[in-house]
Chain A
Amino acid sequence: MLYRGKGAMAVKVARAHEATSEPTTPRAPKRARRGTGLRGWYRGGGLSTLLLALPVILVFGLFSWWPIIASIPMSIQKNDLVQPASYVGWANFRAVLSDPLLPTAIQNTVWFTLLAVVIGFPVPILLATYAAELRRGRGLVSALAYLPGVIPPVVSVLLWKQFYDPDGSGLFNTVLGWFSIPPQPFLQNAISAMPSIVVQATWAGFGSTTIIYLAALMSIRSDLYDAAELDGGGIVQRAWHVTLPQIRHIILLMLLLQIIGTLQVFTEPYLMTGGGPANATVTVLMLVYDYAFVYGNYGQATALSLLLAIALGVVSIVYYRVTRRWSSS
């Protein structure tokens, strides 16, 4: 569908793609009947499959799905994990929804996500495209790009906190000083704090995404580029008509994961600014943390967690519906 109406070259590339596509796999011969019911399931290898998957099912179920289910009743309890829990109806939800800090936290979280998409999303695509074009040194570029991801998150956040130091001794302000630019407040200013955090988060996270994009790019068959080149397509046209359509599934998936991930941002603002200055970087997950670990109110923490989960579910569904048309082409 992406090729439709994109010009003659796009049509030719699409045809080339079709022409070079793998031949249709012949339908596998029907297996001999092994019987129905339990015996058939057993003879068909059902038991061995189940045994193989059992450890994963158990671990996933015990440590992922069961806690999620168990958190639902907790959200309607007064629960500090020590005293016997008591059911309080919707009081926890009412309390968190009437928290005067919640609108600010939602606004900040959405702002972080938007900035992350604008600042952080294109970076790995561009870098991966550049790396894919390299004839030599691709491995080195990939390794260098991934390097920040090797640093533990807390360490990298604290490192950048030093870089952002507001007096002249901070790395960035030292560099600015070389050009006679006075020290900038970065994290100390309500306007610049969030973009500063996004830049750090982008630096810390772009490496792994670049590797994923690079893998996707390397899987694009070269004959598509050859066809485009024969048609006179330059680098921009090749990228637009070949590269992007070929990795659109990955792009859409990574975008969704980024939106879900950034809407749950916690580590970076918690360590860099503690939500300040003046609540300019407080996020929804920081409120969840405070409810649970500062005020010991696990009921309210879980209630807000569930609301966030529902919001993320809605975002994911809307995103899926909006992008389904692009994905299915």
Chain B
Amino acid sequence: MIRSRSRTALFGTATVLAAVNLLAACSSSGGGAAASATYDPKAPVTITVGDEPPTSEAPQRAAFLANVKQFETLNPNITVNATETQWSPQTYQAMLAGGTMPTTLIVPLTEIQSLAERGQVLDLAAYTKNDKVVSAINPTLTKQTTHNGDLYGVPVGAFTMALIYDRALYTAAGLDPDKPPTTWAQVEQNAVTIHQKTGKAGFLIPTVNNFGGFVLTAMSYGNGGALEKTSGSTVTSTIDSAPVQAALQFLHDVRWKDGAFGSNYLLDPDSALKEVVTGSAGQAILAGDRYGEAVFNDQANPDDVGIAPLPQSADGIGTLAGGNISVVSPKASAAQAAAALKWIDFEYLTMYTDKDAAVAAAKASKASGQPVGAPTVPLFDAKTQAQYLEYIKDYIDVPRDHFTAYLNSVDTLPMVLEPTVAAQQIYAMLDSTVQAVLTNQGTDISALLQQNQSQATSLINAAG
């Protein structure tokens, strides 16, 4: 007999929900700071900052705590309590309701619109108005953290979706690892070659936890179309379109015509990355900032990791942008919000303009075995990025020449933002579509897209 592991799950769920509700009621006196709230900038204030590195990353943890001390020295009226709390969709809202959310925390860029929509992050517009560092951040990134004209988070890391490939498998298949494919046709051809010559999967993508939809969105951009069209205040679904169909047809062809997709169609991004950097697969569409995880977590050979821009068709409109966003708790007081902004500037942004901060961060990364100089999308302009790289040039241990095309694409390939309404629900719906294409040869892509468009329209209307 099956153990009723979830026998009490229903009541358990209700228990959790109501318990959290109770906590919310108890802590409702915490009230967030209105954007126009005034405060005494010299009055003592205490903030809690999340994302303290765990003890397993001792050097980075030490550097983080040293930064806390230095920050407190520079700002004697601010007391900083550091915590290892990190973003988790399962706990974020419970933390907020229970009053245990740190004053500031880093969340994925993909979540920021939903959080802003639900009022679960603080509107920072009033605090960042005169912040020169925040104002200098790439406007394409800050646009994604803007909701109804207000700024709800500060980008502290950025990436674009990219083609990650195994340079060793490329070589084994007789392909030139320094000439990654730039079109979808070339990707498919290389996938076939890799599969035929090495027996490994030629191409794959993550397909679960909303990442199937996320990657399909990026591929659709590469084929020339988006999932939503905004006209004034009206948002309409454009899922049933040629670019999305082309992206799905590409997946169908690689899976069924070429037989080069591999055998796992329920991959999360971490598993997909591991496959493609440890010799099990040749190419994958993933975030372009995952070099560090590939080398540090998956123990990939640094020389085998290739990162190239997202392939484009003749009509391609660019690549999907993503990143990490520092947000402030909606329950923070005005003084806490201002202090949190100072901390965000100090901890995550100063290194791009201050040599000592840049070198200290690079030293800490190196000491903990993490790569220095991994490819990312610069937060600021090209001049600031070049200056930053100059600061840390003695510590860079990443073969950046392997990523020349990707690094160059930052200036040339447009960064296209995510769907603005109901993005996560639409991604979840498209997970199923991608999985259907990969697991059922007879899938009618046109019919599926018509159905998706209808469902997406309902989701957009419900969210609106």
Listed in ascending order, the chain A residues whose CB lies under 8 Å from chain B are 63-64, 66-71, 74, 79-83, 95, 100, 116, 120-121, 123-125, 149, 153, 165-167, 183, 185, 187-190, 198, 201-202, 204-209, 254, 257-258, 260-262, 264-268, 273-279, 285, 288-290, 292-296, 298, 301-302, 305, 308-309, 312
Query: Is the beta-carbon distance between B17 and A82 smaller than 8 angstroms?
Result: no
> Which 7 residue pairs across A and B have the least CB separation, nearest first?
A261-B4, A205-B3, A67-B18, A70-B18, A81-B97, A274-B208, A261-B7
A306 to B256 alpha-carbon distance, docked (Å): 43
Query: Is the beta-carbon distance between B438 and A277 smaller than 8 angstroms?
Result: yes
Query: Is the beta-carbon distance between B17 and A298 smaller than 8 angstroms?
Result: yes
Query: Is the beta-carbon distance between B10 and A261 smaller than 8 angstroms?
Result: no
**Shortest distance between the CB of B418 and any CB in chain A (Å):** 15
Among A81, A95, A268: residue with most chain B CB under 10 A: A81
Query: Is the beta-carbon distance between A74 and B21 smaller than 8 angstroms?
Result: yes
Question: Does B1 touch A at the CB level, under 8 Å?
Answer: yes
Q: What are 12 A-B residue pairs whose CB atoms fall within 8 Å in the complex?
A: A63-B15, A79-B21, A82-B24, A82-B96, A167-B264, A201-B3, A204-B2, A264-B4, A293-B89, A294-B428, A295-B114, A298-B93
Question: Does B5 touch A at the CB level, under 8 Å?
Answer: yes
Task: List residues of chain B with CB within 8 A of the CB of A293.
Answer: 89-90, 93
Task: List residues of chain B with CB within 8 A of the CB of A209.
Answer: 1, 3
A268 to B114 alpha-carbon distance, docked (Å): 28
Listed in ascending order, the chain B residues whose CB lies under 8 Å from chain A are 1-7, 9-11, 13-22, 24, 89-90, 93-94, 96-97, 114, 118-120, 207-210, 262-266, 268, 330, 424-425, 428, 431-433, 435-436, 438-440, 455, 458, 462
Query: Is the beta-carbon distance between A67 and B14 smaller than 8 angstroms?
Result: yes
**Contact of A64 with B11 at beta-carbon distance under 8 Å, contacts A74-B21, A80-B118, A278-B440 already known:** yes
**Shortest distance between the CB of B113 and any CB in chain A (Å):** 12
A153 to B, closest residue via Cβ: B5
A198 to B266 alpha-carbon distance, docked (Å): 18
**Contact of A74 with B439 at beta-carbon distance under 8 Å, contacts A261-B6, A267-B6, A276-B431 already known:** no
A183 to B263 alpha-carbon distance, docked (Å): 9
A309 to B16 alpha-carbon distance, docked (Å): 15
Query: Is the beta-carbon distance between A276 and B18 smaller than 8 angstroms?
Result: no
Contact residue among B3, B22, B425, B458 (Cβ-Cβ distance under 8 Å from A295): B425
**Contact of A188 with B120 at beta-carbon distance under 8 Å, contacts A66-B18, A120-B2, A264-B9 already known:** no
**Shortest distance between the CB of B219 and any CB in chain A (Å):** 18
Contact residue among A121, A124, A205, A290 (Cβ-Cβ distance under 8 Å from B5): A205
**Shortest distance between the CB of B331 and any CB in chain A (Å):** 8
Contact residue among A67, A81, A189 (Cβ-Cβ distance under 8 Å from B24): A81
B91 to A, closest residue via Cβ: A293
Among A188, A201, A258, A277: residue with most chain B CB under 10 A: A277
A67 to B11 alpha-carbon distance, docked (Å): 8
**Shortest distance between the CB of A326 and any CB in chain B (Å):** 18
Query: Is the beta-carbon distance between B266 and A277 smaller than 8 angstroms?
Result: yes
Query: Is the beta-carbon distance between B5 and A294 smaller than 8 angstroms?
Result: no
Query: Is the beta-carbon distance between B3 and A261 smaller than 8 angstroms?
Result: yes
Query: Is the beta-carbon distance between B17 and A294 smaller than 8 angstroms?
Result: no
Task: List residues of chain B with CB within 8 A of the CB of A185.
Answer: 263, 439
Task: List residues of chain A with CB within 8 A of the CB of B3.
Answer: 149, 201, 204-209, 261
Task: List residues of chain A with CB within 8 A of the CB of B22.
Answer: 67, 70
Query: Is the beta-carbon distance between B10 and A264 smaller than 8 angstroms?
Result: yes
A277 to B265 alpha-carbon distance, docked (Å): 8
A124 to B9 alpha-carbon distance, docked (Å): 23
A70 to B435 alpha-carbon distance, docked (Å): 38
Among A278, A289, A302: residue with most chain B CB under 10 A: A278
**Contact of A124 with B1 at beta-carbon distance under 8 Å, contacts A285-B6, A305-B13 already known:** yes
Query: Is the beta-carbon distance between B96 and A190 smaller than 8 angstroms?
Result: no
A198 to B20 alpha-carbon distance, docked (Å): 32
Query: Is the beta-carbon distance between A296 and B330 smaller than 8 angstroms?
Result: no
A148 to B, closest residue via Cβ: B3
Query: Is the beta-carbon distance between B19 and A63 smaller than 8 angstroms?
Result: yes
Task: List residues of chain A with CB within 8 A of the CB of B9.
Answer: 264, 266, 285
Contact residue among A70, A190, A268, A275 (Cβ-Cβ distance under 8 Å from B440): A190
Task: List residues of chain B with CB within 8 A of the CB of A290.
Answer: 428
A83 to B19 alpha-carbon distance, docked (Å): 16
Query: Is the beta-carbon distance between A274 and B266 smaller than 8 angstroms?
Result: yes
Task: List residues of chain B with CB within 8 A of the CB of A183.
Answer: 263
A270 to B105 alpha-carbon distance, docked (Å): 27
Query: Is the beta-carbon distance between A294 and B89 smaller than 8 angstroms?
Result: yes
Query: Is the beta-carbon distance between A81 and B21 smaller than 8 angstroms?
Result: yes
**Contact of A305 with B439 at beta-carbon distance under 8 Å, contacts A80-B120, A209-B3, A296-B120 already known:** no
Task: List residues of chain A with CB within 8 A of the CB of B6.
Answer: 261, 264-267, 285
B451 to A, closest residue via Cβ: A100
**Shortest distance between the CB of B150 and any CB in chain A (Å):** 16
Task: List residues of chain A with CB within 8 A of the CB of B2.
Answer: 116, 120-121, 198, 201-202, 204-206, 258, 261-262
A284 to B, closest residue via Cβ: B10
B28 to A, closest residue via Cβ: A84
A198 to B5 alpha-carbon distance, docked (Å): 13
A80 to B439 alpha-carbon distance, docked (Å): 36
**Shortest distance between the CB of A11 and any CB in chain B (Å):** 31
Query: Is the beta-carbon distance between B17 and A120 smaller than 8 angstroms?
Result: no
**Shortest distance between the CB of B213 and any CB in chain A (Å):** 12
Task: List residues of chain B with CB within 8 A of the CB of A123.
Answer: 1
Task: List residues of chain A with CB within 8 A of the CB of B428.
Answer: 290, 294
**Shortest distance between the CB of A293 and any CB in chain B (Å):** 5
**Shortest distance between the CB of A174 and any CB in chain B (Å):** 14
A279 to B433 alpha-carbon distance, docked (Å): 9
Task: List residues of chain A with CB within 8 A of the CB of B440.
Answer: 190, 278
Task: List residues of chain A with CB within 8 A of the CB of B10.
Answer: 264, 285, 305, 308-309, 312
Query: Is the beta-carbon distance between B7 and A71 smaller than 8 angstroms?
Result: no
**Shortest distance between the CB of A310 and any CB in chain B (Å):** 11
**Shortest distance between the CB of B69 and any CB in chain A (Å):** 32
Query: Is the beta-carbon distance between B120 and A274 smaller than 8 angstroms?
Result: no
**Shortest distance between the CB of A311 and any CB in chain B (Å):** 10
Query: Is the beta-carbon distance between A82 and B5 smaller than 8 angstroms?
Result: no
Query: Is the beta-carbon distance between A279 and B432 smaller than 8 angstroms?
Result: yes
Given contacts A206-B2, A285-B9, A296-B118, 11 further A-B contacts (CB under 8 A): A70-B18, A166-B264, A185-B439, A202-B1, A257-B7, A274-B268, A277-B439, A285-B13, A293-B89, A298-B21, A312-B10
Task: List residues of chain B with CB within 8 A of the CB of A302.
Answer: 14, 17
**Shortest distance between the CB of A91 and any CB in chain B (Å):** 10
